[in-house]
Structure 1
Amino acid sequence: MKRKLNLIEATAVGLGNIIGAGIFVMAGSIIYLAGPGALISFIITGILAITIGLNSAELSSKFPNTEGGVYSFAKLTMGDSVGFLVGWMRMISYAISGAATALGFASYLPFHGLQFIIAGILIVVLSMIYFFGLKLASEIETALVIINVVGLTLFIAFSIIVGKLYISHFTPIAPHGISGIFSGASLAFFAYSGFNTIATLTPDVENGEKTVPKAIILSLIVTSILYILVVFSMLYLLPWQIYGLQGNPLSFALQQAKAPEIVIIAVSSTAIIATITVTLSIIIASARTLKQMAKDELIPRKLSKDTISTAIISAIMVSSLSLGNVELIGLVSNFGTIFSYVITPIAVVISRRREITGKFKAPFYPGLQIIAVALSLIVTASLGKESLMLGVLSLIIGLLIHETHVQINVIEKGKRLNPHGKIY
C-alpha cells in the first residue's frame, strides 16, 4: 500500500517551493524598487498570499480526490475551457520558473560555461527522485527545508546581533512612491507562490481534506514571518541605498558587513539548497497537474501515466533552458501565476453557491474573496506591458490548442459511433 504524507511532510513540500530562490535572489531587487517600503511590499504580498491560501485550502477540502490543484478547482467549478486555460498557464509558469531555478543552482557553482549542462542534469536527477515516489521526494524536501529555515534564521540572528538601528536605513519609507512599493510587491509575490503545490497533494495526504488546508496555512504563516524578518534584517544591517540587482543579496549583505567567512558560506550554501527544493517542488506540482489534465481528457489520456507525465515535464524544463532571454520570457510565468490566483477566489464563490461542502471554510466570506481578486488585479497591473502582452498571447495559444483538441475528440467520437460513415 502506498504510504501517504503526514502534515509535516505536506507542509515541507510547500515550504520547499516557497522558501527558495525567491527570497535568496530577489530580496535585494525588491529593496531596490521599493526602498525601506520593501517591508510594506512583503506585507502586501503576505496578505494576498494568505487570502489566496485560505481559498485554496477551502477548495482542497471540497475536492479532495484531485491532483491538479488550482487547475482542478477551476475545471470543477467553471468548466473545461477555463480549467484548461488555468492548467495551461500553470504549466508554462512551472516550466519556465523550474528551468530558471535550475539555472540559478548551476550559477552558484564554480563551473563557468557549464551552467546549462549542470541545470539539465539537476532537472533529470530530481525528476527521477519524484519518479521513485512522492514519499521519497517529500522526505528529501523535509530535510532540505529544515536547512533552508536554519540558514535564514542564521542570517536574521547575525544581522540583529551585529547591526545597529539607524533611522536612515529605514527612511524615507517610500523613496520611489507608492508605485515603487507595488512594483516591489509584484516581484515579492512570487517568493510566496509555491504554497499551491500543496493543493495538488490532497489524494496522497493522510486525511487530505483536513490536513492539506492546515499545511497551506502553516506554510504561509512560517514564510510570512521569515520573509518580513529577513527584509527587516537586511535594512537593519545596511542602508537601503546599497542594495541593487545583486543575484545573491544575503551573501552580499554579509560581505559588506564583514561577516565571518563561515557565516557567509553557510548562508550561500543554503541558497544553493533552496534552488534544489524549489526545482523539485515545481516538478512535483507540474507533473501532477499534467497527469490530472490527462485523466480529465483535456489532453490525450495516455499522458496520465506517471512515467510519461514526469518525462514530459522534465523535457519541457530542459528545453526551456535554451530560451535566449529567460528573464523576459519568465514574465509569462508571473502572468500565469496571477491568472490562476484570480480564478481561485471566484471558484470558492461558485462552489458555495452550488452548496458544495468541505471540512474547511475560508473566513470572512465574501470579503476575503473580494480582497483576493482586487489585490491580484493590482499586482497584475504592476507586472508591466511586456508581461501582459506575453501573458495574453499565451492565453490565446492555449485557447487554440484546447479548441483543436475538442474538435479532434468530436471527430474521433463520431467515427466510433458511426464507423462505416453512414448517415443516420
Structure 2
Amino acid sequence: MASKATLGQQVLRRKPVSVLIEESSGDLHTDTPLDPPLDADAAAPHLRRSIGLLQLSAIGIGATVGTGIFFVLNTAVPVAGPAVVVSFVLAAITAGLTALCYAELASAIPVSGSSYSYAYATLGEIVAFGVGACLLLEYGVSASAVSVGWGQYLNEFFSDAFGFTLPDAIAQPPGDGGYVNVPAMVLVLLCCLLLMRGAKESARANATMVGIKLCVLVLFVAIALTGFHSGNLRPFAPMGFAGISNAASSIFFSYIGLDAVSTAGEEVKDPHRTLPRAIIIALVVVTVLYIGVAIAAVGAQKWTLFEGQQAGLAQILRDVTGQTWPSIMFALGAIVSIFSVTLVVIYGQTRILYTMGRDGVLPPRFAQVSPRTGTPIWNTAVVSTGVALLAGFVPLDVLADLTSLGTLVAFSVVSIGVMILRRTNPDLERGFKVPGYPVTPVLSVAFCVYLIKGLHPLTFAMFAAWLAGAAWVYFTYSLKHSRLRALEGPSGP
C-alpha cells in the first residue's frame, strides 16, 4: 500500500502531458471519482477548434499592437529620451527569445492555459498556480491599462471631427485629471458582449480590426517621417543606459500578445503547426511596427514634449501636416486598435480561468462552457467586471508596471519549462524546437530577470501582496480540490 504523500510531494505534483492533451479533447476517462465533480449543468465538455492561422496570428498581433505603441511613448520617452528606440529593441530581443520557447511548448502541449499549463507539466502544481495568478494579474491589468487610453483617443477624434470633448472627470485616467474613466468601462462592456457570442465571431472581428490598425500605423510612419529632424534625436540618451533599461522594463507589457496566442491552444485547428507559426508571425510584425513607429515619433517631435501629452501620436500627425484629417484618421484607428487589444486580452484571461477551473484549483463553475456559443460565459462576465473596475478607478502608470512584472515572470517560467520538458519528456512530439538550445532559453531567462530589476519598488510590493493572496487561495482551496489529486488517489504520487 502506497504511503500518504507529504505536503511537499503534493504541492510539487506534475500533470502528465498526456493527461493535459486528453483533457483538452474531452477524452480523459478515469475510474477515480473527481472531487468536486463537474457541475451537471455545465454543458460542452471542451472548447471548439474553430481558429485558423490567419485568425490566430491576428490574435497575437491584436493583443500586442496597441497595448504600448498608441500611448506608452508618452511615459517611456520622458524616461529614455530618443533612445526609447533602443528600449523597444531590448524588449523585442527579450520577447523574441521567449517567443521561441513559447513556440516549442505550444506545439508540444496545445492546450488552453498558456504558461500555467506548461508550468503544471514541468514545475509542479504550486508553481503552476503561482504562474496562473501572474497570468490573471497580467491579463486583467493589461486589459485595464489599454482600455484606460481609449477615452483619450475618443476625445481626440471628437475634438477634431465634431469640435467637442468629453469632460476630463469621466474621460481621463484617475490621478490624471479624471475621477471615473467611463469610456474605458464602456469599452470593456462591449468586448464582454462580443466575446459571449463565440470565439469564432470574436476572432473574425479582431482580424478585421487588426487590419485597420496595421494600415493606420503604417500611415503614421509614412507621414511622421516627412517631419523627421535629426536635431530631435539630440541628446539621444539624456538619462543614460539606466533610462533605456527602465523604459524597456515599463514597455515590456507591449509584448503580452505572444502569450495570448498560446491561450487559444484548444480552439486552434492543427495546433502543433499553427501555434508556433502564429507566435513567430506575431513577433516579427509587432517588432517591425514598434521600432518603425518609435523612430518616426521621436524624429518628428522633441522628446521633451511627450510627457503628459494626450493621444500623442495623433498630435504628432497634426503638427507635421498642419491639418486635422491625418489625426482624425489616426485617432479613429487607435479607437479600433485599443478595442481589439482589450477584446483579445480579456479573451486570454477567460481561457486561463477555464483551464484552472477544469483542473479543480479554482471552483468548477469556471470550467463551464455554454452549449450554444462554446464559450465560458461566467468567466467572461467575471473578468469583464474586474477589468472595468480597474480601468475606471486605478491610475495608468501603476497598471503598466504591474503588467510588465506579471508578463516577465510568466515568460521566465516558459523558458525554464522548455529545458525541463526536454529532460523529462525528450520523445514528446514537438511541431517546433527552439534553435540554439540550451543557450536561447537561458538567455531568455537572463533578459527577463534583467528587465524585472528595472521596475519600481512599489510594483514589487503590490506584486508580493497579490502572490500572498494567491498562496492563501491555494492552501485553503486548491490543494484539496485539485483534480490531479483525485486522479492520483489519496495516497498521492
TM superposition score normalised by structure 2: 0.79
CA deviation string 1:326-378 (max 9, x = no partner): 53355332221111111110000011011134110011111111111111111
Aligned equivalent of 1:328, options 384, 398, 401: 398
Conserved 8 A contact 2:67-2:253:
no
User: Is the CA contact 1:42–1:185 (under 8 Å) kept in the aligned structure 2?
Assistant: yes
Shift of 1:407: 5.3
Whole-angstrom CA distance in 1 between matches of 2:413 and 2:479: 26
Preserved CA contact (<8 Å) 2:88 2:291: yes
Do residues 252 (structure 1) and 315 (structure 2) align? yes
C-alpha spacing 1:174/1:308, structure 2 compared with 1 (3 Å): same
CA distance 1:328–1:263, change in 2 (3 Å): same
Residue 145 (1) aligns with residue 190 (2): no
Q: C-alpha deviations, 1:130-186, integer Å up to 9, x for none?
A: 1211111110011101110111100111122x22442x2223332211101101111
User: Residues 67-90 of structure 1, C-alpha deviation per residue, up to 9 Å, x if partnerless?
Assistant: 101111111111111111111121
Aligned-residue offset at 1:207? 0.8
The whole-number CA distance in structure 1 between the counterparts of 2:322 and 2:450 is 39
CA shift for structure 1 position 2: 5.0
Q: Which residue is 1:422 aligned to?
A: none
Stretches of structure 2 lacking an aligned partner (at least 5 in a row): 1-46, 155-164, 172-180, 369-375
Rounded to whole Å, the distance in 1 between the matches of 2:120 and 2:105 is 12
Number of residue pairs matched by the alignment:
411
| Higher mean C-alpha displacement, 311-320 vs 49-58 | 311-320
1:345-360, aligned counterparts within 5 Å?
A: 345-354=415-424, 355=426, 356-360=428-432
| Residue 291 (structure 1) aligns with | 354
Q: Aligned partners of 2:228 and 2:267: how far apart in 1? A: 48
- Conserved? CA contact 2:153–2:335, under 8 Å: yes
Cα distance, 1:127 vs structure 2: 1.5
Q: Is the 8 A contact 2:107 2:273 kept in 1?
A: yes
Correspondence 1:7 to 2:53: yes
Q: Distance between the aligned counterparts of 1:163 and 1:321, measured in 2?
A: 34
Deviations 1:219-259 (A, max 9, x none): 11001011111111112223333332323221122233244
Separation in structure 1 between the aligned mates of residue 418 and residue 265 of structure 2, nearest angstrom: 17
Secondary structure in structure 1 of the residue aligned to 2:431: coil
| Post-superposition offset of 1:117 | 3.8
Normalised TM-score (structure 1): 0.91
What's 1:35 paired with? 81
CA distance in 2, matches of 1:137, 1:405: 33
| Contact kept in structure 2, 1:18 and 1:194, CA below 8 Å | yes
Structure-2 change in CA distance of 1:291 and 1:77 (3 Å): same
Structure 2 equivalent of residue 120 of structure 1: 185
Offset of residue 60 of structure 1: 0.3
**Cα separation, partners in 2 of 1:228 and 1:147, compared to 1, 3 Å:** same
**Are 1:136 and 2:201 matched, yes or no?**
yes
Cα distance in structure 1, aligned partners of 2:416 and 2:85: 29
Aligned pair in 2 of structure 1 residues 163, 324: CA closer, same or farther (>3 Å)? closer
- Aligned-partner residue type, residue 341 of structure 1: F
Q: Map 1:181-196 onto structure 2 (within 5 A).
A: 181-196=244-259
Q: Tell me which amino acid in the other structure corresponds to 2:383.
A: I
> How far did residue 262 of structure 1 move?
0.9
SS in 2 for 1:23: coil
Partner of 1:421: none
If each structure's helix is expressed as a fraction of its own residues, which one has the higher value? 1
2:450 aligned residue (351, 365, 378):
378
Match of 1:163 in 2: 227
Equivalent residue, structure 1, for 2:276: 213
C-alpha spacing 1:105/1:332, structure 2 compared with 1 (3 Å): same
Which of structure 1's runs of 4+ aligned residues deviate more than 6 A?
none
Could you tell me which runs of 5 or more consecutive residues in structure 1 were left unpaired when the two chains were aligned.
419-424
Does residue 225 of structure 1 match 2:288?
A: yes
